[in-house]
Amino acid sequence: MFENEGLIAEFYEDTQAHLENIEVDVLKLEKDHSQSDLIDAVFRRVHSIKGNSGMLGLDQIRVTGEVFETFLDKIRERRTATSEEIDKMFTHLDALKKVVSQTKGETGEPEIRAEETPAEAEPMATTQEISATPGDPMSPVGQSAPQVESKPRPAGKADNLDMVDDEDDNARNDSGISTTYLTFKLEKEHYGVDIMKVREIILREEITPVPNTDSFVLGVMNLRDQIIPVFNLKKKLNIEDYDKSIEEKNIIVIEIQKVTTGLRVEEVTGIVTLGKDQISPANDFSGSIPTDYLHGIGQSEEETIILIDVNDLCDPEEKLFKTEQC
């Protein structure tokens, strides 16, 4: 799949070192929330993973890192973290571990067992520039992670770390393995899509209307010389009488069978990992959204999340025009 297998192997080795050091730093933050240098260190390591994965075209890792980085950026401004925010750091970290693990399997890179992980890992020479934040030099990743006694994680925050192939979402959840979702808001409700289907998150871009398309098609946009359709997700989901004055800040780019679609949403809110026992069947939903577009109803510790089945929502075989075009 990748021409430079050595570079991919180096990326995963480097990322493993970053993930281990992030966990060490967050455990230290649990004891002293005001250690701003640790907050900066976690941010830089996440930034490095995001940048390196983006250069290698590992989109799901990059998207997960981007959401984690955005969350950390708000904390950096205050120079201190709350207990709740530290719990969310663990949640984001575990989501990143899961996506790295699954992506590693898809690229054919063998898993690195903990006892085989090198104590030191040099940063990737080809990505040092992107790994650094202006005015905030990247700390060395080569230092060995000190041994810190792990505290029990908050219940439900980080229990199931294994993932399997994403070809059959229903079979995966029936097996009891947890799934990570990118969450966003529409009309005060929280929604989620499988993070492994997300190619990227972008700010609202200029959309060009296309005549004679279905009402839910806002138009098309240019994504790095690729023209992709963009859906009005509220219309696609049959959300009626929605407030048109609410700003829709983000476009979530979904890729199904190498077909790319943009979904415009009000705001991306984060990442959540749900197990089988936290997801109710789609048929339990009593709203106006077609159940064909629903994977289920998730219940996290904080909120109810409507889980979208993007395989059906962004069906590559669906015709977007009202009539056949000559």
Tens of pLDDT, residues 291-310: 889 999 999 988 899 999 99
pLDDT in tens, 94-133: 999 999 998 888 655 544 433 333 333 344 433 333 333 3
Ordered mean pLDDT values, 10 residues apiece, the chain (326 residues) = 73 95 95 92 95 90 93 90 93 93 70 39 37 37 39 40 39 60 92 93 86 91 90 89 83 91 93 91 80 90 91 85 56
Half-sphere exposure of 274 (CA within 13 A, CB side): 32
Check if the beta carbon of residue 26 is closer than 8 Å to that of residue 42. yes
Domains in the chain, ordered, with CATH?
Answer: 5-109 (1.20.120.160), 171-313 (2.40.50.180)
Q: What per-residue confidence (pLDDT) applies to 262? A: 94
3-class secondary-structure state, position 62: helix
The pair of structure tokens assigned to 161 is 């770390």
3-class secondary-structure state, position 212: coil
Those residues whose C-beta lies under 8 Å from the C-beta of residue 35, and which sit 6 or more positions away, are 28, 29
Q: How far apart are CA 186 and CA 181, in angstroms?
A: 15
Check if the beta carbon of residue 160 is closer than 8 Å to that of residue 207. no
Label the pairing between strands 198-203 and 217-223.
Answer: unpaired
Distances (CA, A) of 245 to 55, 87, 235, 241, 242: 37, 34, 15, 12, 9
The pair of structure tokens assigned to 301 is 């510790």
**Longest Cα–Cα distance in the chain:** 67
Among 9, 262, 14, 294, smallest CA distance to 170 is for 294
Q: What per-residue confidence (pLDDT) applies to 11? A: 93
The runs of H, that is alpha helices, within 158-255 are 169-174, 233-236
Q: How far apart are CA 248 and CA 246, in angstroms?
A: 6
Check if the beta carbon of residue 193 is closer than 8 Å to that of residue 166. no
Can you give the length of the chain in residues? 326
Check if the beta carbon of residue 87 is closer than 8 Å to that of residue 157. yes
Q: What per-residue confidence (pLDDT) applies to 7? A: 87
Q: What per-residue confidence (pLDDT) applies to 142? A: 37
The pair of structure tokens assigned to 288 is 């106006």
The pair of structure tokens assigned to 246 is 């609410």
Strands across the sheet containing 279-280: 267-274, 179-186, 189-194, 304-308, 294-299, 279-280
Which region holds residue 219: left if phi is over 0, alpha if psi is between -120 and 50, else beta?
Answer: left
CA end-to-end span of the chain: 37
